[in-house]
Amino acid sequence: MTLSQHKYCLTRCRFLMSSIFVDPHLQNQNYLEQVIDAMPAGLVMVDAALRACSMNRMMADLLGVPDDLLLEQELALDDLIACPELARHAAEALASGTPQDNVLVTLDGRADGVRYVDFNIRRTRKDGSYMLLLIGQDITFRRKARLRLQESEEFFRLTFSQAAVGIVLLGADGRVLRTNSKMSQILGYTEIELLQRFFQQLTCAEDMAEEQALMTRLKLGQISDYQLEKRLLRRDGARVWVSVNVSSMRDVNGSQRFICVINDIQRQKQAEEALLRMANHDALTGLPNRVLMQDRLGQAIMHAHRAGRQVAVMFIDLDRFKHVNDSLGHDAGDGLIVEIARRLSNSLRESDTVARQGGDEFVVVLPDLAGQEDAARVARKLLDNLFQPTTLCGQEVFPSGSIGIAMYPRDGEDSATLLKCADSAMYGSKGQGGNHYSFYTAEMGAQAVEHLRMEGALQRALQRQEFLLHYQPVVDIGSGVVTGVEALLRWQPQDRAMVSPADFIPLAEETGLIVPIGEWVLLTAMEQQVAWRQSGLPPVRISVNLSARQFLGQDVAQCVAGLLARTGCDPGYLTLEITESVLMENPIAAAETMGRLAAMGVQLAIDDFGTGYSSLASLKRFPIHSLKIDRSFVMDLTQDADDAAIVNAVIALAHSMKLNVIAEGVETGEQLAYLSKQGCDQMQGYHFSRPVEPGRIEAMLRAGRG
């Protein structure tokens, strides 16, 4: 309806109203007019022909009728308020007299926007005719507020259900009252299933105590919210890491509620755990690394201190690991380390720690021990398990290790001291030939210091020219003629007594210094051979020892070839000695290297024969010229029937294989006589001569003893 359609005025309205509410006193009539005008509801009066007869100010305002528009004649209700629904209800009220309530009318022609009016219609009678009273209540504000509320509820509902985080509303007892689809996704339950559960059923047992404590504080109002990282239990039983923000609230009834916002942090946690693992574990074996081991050792010490118990720290170093690495390659070396890690772990209890310290070194921490014997028992078990053979690159390898043990509190009260002591004790085991365990003793500490000092001195010895060679004659037993000499290394430090090769060769091996030292020995021996030849002596066979690392670890054949060319040494008068154990450690690589050396015309001898595990038959595949019977068999030859039997067998079998046999360490005439009787070819030993400096050998050779 447009404003121009309104043809009435307030004056007329007032007149009409005064005619409805008849009062004999004009004053009262004016008062009633005022009351009706002041009513907080619009009022329009309609006659039986459904024509609007009068209205109050509020209705005029509602309909947007300006004061200056005067109603010339009565107006049809339809024209005044164009709402068929209202007209229908008005007709109904007029016909039946039934009050018509809550008829909603939308007034949309107003300049200030849409208005919603709630009409109640009553039938009255005036002067014998029916009249209708239409009372309109402006509910625009209420209705808009309700619409806004609906909108906001819808917005909240959508936000809640579609949120990218899990949301759970809990009752004071922990029951799930509302939840959303993200929560279902995180936990694998349907929303309906979740509604039947308590948060206590969804929380992992490990995190329950902490969460309950926080929730109690929340209930008591001591905190307004809390944040926690915890594990929830999924429907399939798996655990999922989440971060939870919980705050307390009251619902419309004043009941306490908890609103929980839950983020799935499983991936983040897994990444964190992986990082932590990397920081604390060795990548190759997955064992704890040095950092984690020290932490565990610290804890074990603290516990033992409180409980009056002991802790054992074991330092384990693999014997001859470098040779495996050098000869079979790094992949095989890695394979061995992984296998050893597995064996160590399988030999220990859950509460023990086995860590990789680096390289071929492992540390084992045994907490909560009653005494040293417990540690000894474990050490024996570890050695037994380590010693089982394994196959690497198609080769059978016999791993073994040296174990050093330090005990808390006896040997030290802190991790660093205990580890140092265990390390020293490990060297003690190595000194006994490996595959041993030793407990730390005070002497070992001194030895460890000496070991370090010697390592430094050895490194400087080559530059300072502190090495020299002595030679021990090799004598033909039948004729007594010196057929050659063995070059034996000597170290004469400038400020100290001569050091035995037995003391420094293992250290040189370990540090790798054996490579330059060994090359120096070869060079010096070859030069000596050339020098003797040039001085007019008949050719002298020189034997040179090759260490395991020299033989297996570098290209010794190439080195020898280079030195032969450089010195002019006659390869036919050069013998290289390799110990039996080196040969057996990697027979394929050894056979290959020996083949190349033999092809140059160099002779090869097996040193210390009888101490290893090889059978004579297994020697067939190597291009060997001589066997040297180890001194330990010769020593008791005349007293010990077993040693005699071994020596006899070795000589007989070696001869059957056309090998030359040399007996080492012959000190007495009886030994010599026995060996001679058994047909041993050559001998070395103090009975004939100790190793001596080159000048004395030369004199011996010139004196015709050669």
Ligand X SMILES: Nc1nc2c(ncn2[C@@H]2O[C@@H]3COP(=O)(O)O[C@H]4[C@@H](O)[C@H](n5cnc6c(=O)[nH]c(N)nc65)O[C@@H]4COP(=O)(O)O[C@H]3[C@H]2O)c(=O)[nH]1
Binders of ligand X: how many residues, by CB under 6 A?
23
134 SS3 class: strand
Q: How far is CA 40 from CA 35, 61, 120, 294, in A?
A: 10, 11, 14, 85
Select the residue interacting with ligand X from 684, 694, 698, 706 (CB under 6 A): 684
Shortest Å distance, C-beta 704 to ligand X = 22
Q: Which long-range contacts (C-beta less than 8 Å, at least 24 apart) are formed by 145-151?
A: none
Sign of the alpha-carbon torsion through 504, 505, 507, 513: positive
Nearer of residues 289 and 529 to ligand X, judged by Cβ = 529
Nearer of residues 610 and 685 to ligand X, judged by Cβ = 685
- Does 505 bind ligand X (CB under 6 A)? Our answer is yes
- Does 488 bind ligand X (CB under 6 A)? Our answer is yes
- Does 489 bind ligand X (CB under 6 A)? Our answer is yes
Nearer of residues 111 and 502 to ligand X, judged by Cβ = 502
Only one of the segments 4-12, 147-155, 231-239, 681-689 lies at the binding site for ligand X (rule: CB under 6 A); that segment is 681-689
Nearer of residues 415 and 547 to ligand X, judged by Cβ = 547
- Does 94 bind ligand X (CB under 6 A)? Our answer is no
Select the residue interacting with ligand X from 402, 438, 472, 529 (CB under 6 A): 472
Shortest Å distance, C-beta 659 to ligand X = 18
Select the residue interacting with ligand X from 47, 455, 667, 705 (CB under 6 A): 667
- Does 264 bind ligand X (CB under 6 A)? Our answer is no
- Does 665 bind ligand X (CB under 6 A)? Our answer is yes
Contact (CB, 8 A) for 492 and 468: yes
Tell me how far the alpha carbon of residue 516 is from its chain's centroid. 40
Select the residue interacting with ligand X from 391, 636, 686, 702 (CB under 6 A): 686
Shortest Å distance, C-beta 522 to ligand X = 9
Q: What angle do CA 308, 313, 316 make, to 5 degrees?
A: 165
What is the secondary structure of 307-320 as a DSSP string? HT-EEEEEEEEETT
- Does 313 bind ligand X (CB under 6 A)? Our answer is no
Nearer of residues 214 and 489 to ligand X, judged by Cβ = 489
- Does 34 bind ligand X (CB under 6 A)? Our answer is no
The residues near 427 (Cβ < 8 Å, ≥ 6 apart) are 402, 404, 444, 447, 448, 451
Query: CA 493, CA 454: separation in Å to the nearest integer?
Result: 10
Query: CA torsion, points 75, 78, 83, 84, in degrees to nearest 10?
Result: 160
- 279, with CB counted inside 10 A (0-12, 13-18, 19+), is exposed
Residues between 544 and 603 with contacts to ligand X, criterion CB under 6 A: 545-547
Select the residue interacting with ligand X from 335, 685, 694, 706 (CB under 6 A): 685
- Does 502 bind ligand X (CB under 6 A)? Our answer is yes
Contact (CB, 8 A) for 625 and 659: yes
Residue 604 DSSP one-character state: E
Nearer of residues 378 and 525 to ligand X, judged by Cβ = 525
- 581, with CB counted inside 10 A (0-12, 13-18, 19+), is middle
Shortest Å distance, C-beta 533 to ligand X = 21
Nearer of residues 419 and 515 to ligand X, judged by Cβ = 515
Q: How far is CA 295 from CA 73, 301, 313, 315, 420, in A?
A: 102, 10, 13, 16, 16
Contact (CB, 8 A) for 597 and 551: no
Shortest Å distance, C-beta 514 to ligand X = 7
Question: Is there a cis peptide before residue 399, judged by omega within 30 degrees of 0?
Answer: no
- Does 526 bind ligand X (CB under 6 A)? Our answer is no
Shortest Å distance, C-beta 472 to ligand X = 6
**Beta strand pairing call for 437-439 and 401-408:** parallel
Residues between 620 and 659 with contacts to ligand X, criterion CB under 6 A: 631
Select the residue interacting with ligand X from 521, 560, 604, 647 (CB under 6 A): 521
Query: CA 110, CA 126: separation in Å to the nearest integer?
Result: 33
- Does 156 bind ligand X (CB under 6 A)? Our answer is no
Nearer of residues 46 and 544 to ligand X, judged by Cβ = 544
Amino acid found at 125 = R
- Does 366 bind ligand X (CB under 6 A)? Our answer is no
Shortest Å distance, C-beta 660 to ligand X = 16
Only one of the segments 187-195, 543-551, 558-566, 587-595 lies at the binding site for ligand X (rule: CB under 6 A); that segment is 543-551
Residues binding ligand X (CB under 6 A): 472, 488-489, 500-502, 505, 518, 521, 545-547, 607-608, 631, 664-667, 684-686, 691
